[in-house]
Amino acid sequence: MPVPRTHSALQLLRQAIGGHRGWPQFWRSPEPKPAYDVVIIGGGGHGLATAYYLASKHGIRNVALLEKGWIGGGNTGRNTTIVRSNYFYPQSTDLYDHSLRLYEGLSHELNINLMLSQMGILTLANSRHDVEMLQRWSNAIQVQGIACEWLEPEQVQAEVPALDVFGMRYPVKGAFMQRRGGTARHDAVAWGYARGASQLGVDIIQNCEVSGFEISDNRVRAVHTNRGTIRTDKVGIAVAGHSTVLATLAGFKLPLSSMTLQAYVSEPVKPALDRVINSPMVHAYISQSDRGEMVMGAGADAYFSYGQRGNLPPLEDGVRSILEMFPRFSRLKMMRQWGGVVDISPDTSPIIGKTPVTGMYINCGWGTGGFKAIPAGGDLLAATIAHDKPHPLAEPFCLDRFRTGRLVDEGAAAGVSH
């Protein structure tokens, strides 16, 4: 089902003549109906993508999407916008490359410029041991059909002139590069999916917080919200850091820990960095946005938090790590800093699929790497809801793996936050 084209060059010309007063709203804001076929909880990228794919791929259009705040205001608006598919295990590469491939066609599909910039992502080795681990990692990915290449230090310097390749305390010994990696505009992802879903009939209901579920015979019957009770027999949950809160309301357990992940940007400057740089050793990553800001991030904060704000010590650590790689950025002023509540799973792999409650499905556990996975997370959750059985790509990421022990331990394999 194609999305109607309400935005085009002709429309732009027409609206310019009319003083830009007649633009249609991107998505409708209806009152909630008493009942829906499917209710999606969470108006971030994953929830919006789920609603969109339910309508566009599976023809399920009597769908409500409930968001307690405003859409894209959680982690979708609080990340470093990096997209890549350089994971280690085949299950993960299949999943994340599915996502990256969807991203590659998404601007066209949603008729919105996602500013997908596949500038390439470099993962740096700073020791002989890093070299061995990263070559193993990069070889594993290539065997799985994901193009990436090994760069010697001189080649790294040629790719990234601003990087202090030879002057660091632990000089760069090499790097592997995935050229299809890069960044995308996070707000456009949320707005594009929201508009697409809304045009296909999905009701996007903001400022609507879920307070409980009606469950009988272990089957979900209704969702209680601050805007009334909505009857449904299928619920999809995509609420990242608040997954445990909703699971507790529904009466099942999750293996998640909610932590803060911070990101920060400098004042905008002229183009100085046209690759995404990630260093597992100092554990920090940086790219330059199209507006010129240096966008930086590091590891999650050190203790559990639902605070949506960062603590100072990890921020100082992150900035120190960036300056170790790029001493020339030391006089940049920091402009903004923010934090999101991320849901870290024990194997740092996501959970997508059924829950112990019949008719209730979940997409969570993306931890510090949910943005890159938005199209896949939505696609797989939608397929799982529509067919009431896990999508083949989602099967390894079922909740049951924490009972059977079939973990997808990316945390141990790749050794860096995702």
* Residue 305 is a binding residue for other proteins (CB under 8 A): yes
Q: How far is the CB of 125 from other proteins (least distance, A)?
A: 27
Q: Which residue has the tokens 């310019």?
A: 16
**Selected binder of other proteins within 212, 313, 320, 387 (CB under 8 A):** 313
Nearer to other proteins, 244 or 321 (CB): 244
Among candidates 248, 242, 216, which has minimal Cα distance to 231? 216
Exactly one of 147, 245, 335, 412 binds other proteins (CB under 8 A); which one? Answer: 245
Give dist(CA 168, CA 179) in Å, integer: 24
Residue of 81, 138, 244, 384 that binds other proteins (CB under 8 A): 244
Query: Closer CB to other proteins, residue 338 or residue 402?
Result: 402
Smallest separation, CB 140 to other proteins (Å): 26
CB atoms within 10 A of CB 382: 28
Residue at 316: amino acid letter: E
Q: Candidates 100-108, 188-196, 221-229, 301-309 — which segment interacts with other proteins by CB under 8 A?
A: 301-309
CB nearer to other proteins: pick between 19 and 405: 405
**242 touching other proteins, by CB under 8 A:** yes
Q: Select the residue interacting with other proteins from 13, 312, 335, 412 (CB under 8 A).
A: 312
Q: Which two tokens stand for residue 313?
A: 């010590």
DSSP, res 329: G
What would you report as the CA-atom Rg of the chain, rounded to the nearest whole angstrom? 21
Q: How far is Cα 366 from Cα 368, in angstroms, rounded to an integer?
A: 6
Part of the chain binding other proteins (CB under 8 A), chosen from 21-29, 185-193, 273-281, 297-305: 297-305
Element (H or E) spanning 82, and its range?
Answer: strand 82-83
Nearest distance from C-beta of residue 317 to other proteins, angstroms: 9
Q: Do the bridges between strand 38-41 and strand 235-237 make them parallel or antiparallel, or are there none, so unpaired?
A: parallel
Q: Which is nearer to other proteins, 22 or 356 (by Cβ)?
A: 356
> For residues 258 and 242, is the Cβ–Cβ distance under 8 A?
yes
Site for other proteins in 385-414 (CB under 8 A): 402-405
* Sign of the CA dihedral running 230, 234, 238, 242: positive
Q: Considering only the stretches 42-50, 110-118, 202-210, 298-306, report the one whose residues sit in contact with other proteins under the rule CB under 8 A.
A: 298-306
Shortest reach from residue 247's CB to other proteins, in Å: 9
351 closest CA partner among 393, 386, 389, 394: 394
Q: Rule CB under 8 A: is residue 258 a binding residue for other proteins?
A: yes
Query: Counting contacts by CB under 8 A, is residue 262 touching other proteins?
Result: no
* Candidate residues 303, 330, 331, 333; the one interacting with other proteins per rule CB under 8 A: 303
Nearest to 76 by CA among 179, 209, 235, 193: 193
> How far is 44 from 316, CA to CA, in rounded Å?
28
Nearer to other proteins, 302 or 412 (CB): 302
Contact (CB, 8 A) for 193 and 187: no
CB 390 within 8 A of CB 342: no
Site for other proteins in 318-347 (CB under 8 A): 346
Q: 66, 225 in Cβ contact below 8 A?
A: yes
253 is a site residue for other proteins (CB under 8 A): yes
Among 158, 302, 335, 412, binds other proteins (CB under 8 A): 302
- Footprint of other proteins on this chain (CB under 8 A)? 242, 244-245, 253-258, 302-307, 311-313, 346, 402-405
